[in-house]
Amino acid sequence: KEKSSYQATFFYILREDLQVSVSAQQDPGNPNSFYYFTSNAASGYNYGAEYERSQMFLDDKIKLTSSIGYLETWIDQYDFYIDDSTSTNRGNRAQSQSPEFSYSMVAEIHPSKSLTIAIDYSFKDKYFLSDSHNHRSEAYHLLNLSAEYKINSASISLWGKNVTDTRYAVRG
**pLDDT digit string, tens, across residues 102-132:** 999 999 999 999 999 999 999 999 999 988 8
Pick from 136, 124, 123: nearest CA to 96 = 136
Q: Are strands 140-151 and 115-124 parallel, antiparallel or unpaired?
A: antiparallel
Dist CA 108 CA 28 (whole Å): 50
Q: pLDDT per residue over 151-170, tens digit each?
A: 999 999 999 999 999 999 88
pLDDT at res. 172:
59
Q: Is 139 helix (H, G, I), strand (E, B) or coil?
A: coil
